[in-house]
Amino acid sequence: MIVNLLSSGRKHRETILTDAFLRHILLSKNEQLAYIGFDFHDFW
């Protein structure tokens, strides 16, 4: 399980990192990986 705590969305600077991180995970095609993106800004 991979949990990404970087901010996401167009207004956050970490979006570039979040997108690149997710792209690499998807390219790995590893069915045993579970990706969870959690942005604290959405819940604060």
Q: What global pTM score does this model have?
A: 0.63
Rounded CA-CA distance 19/15 in Å is 6
What the block records as the tokens of 40 is 């604290």
- Residue 29 structural domain: 2-42
Q: Using one digit for the tens of pLDDT, what is the confidence trace for 1-14?
A: 888 887 776 777 88
Q: How many domains are contained in the chain?
A: 1
Q: What confidence tier does 28 reach under pLDDT thresholds 50, 70, 90?
A: very high
3-state DSSP of the chain:
CEEECCCCCCCCCCHHHHHHHHHHHHHHCCCCCCEEECCHHHCC
Rg for the chain (alpha carbons), in Å? 11
Q: Residue 36: beta bridge partners?
A: 3
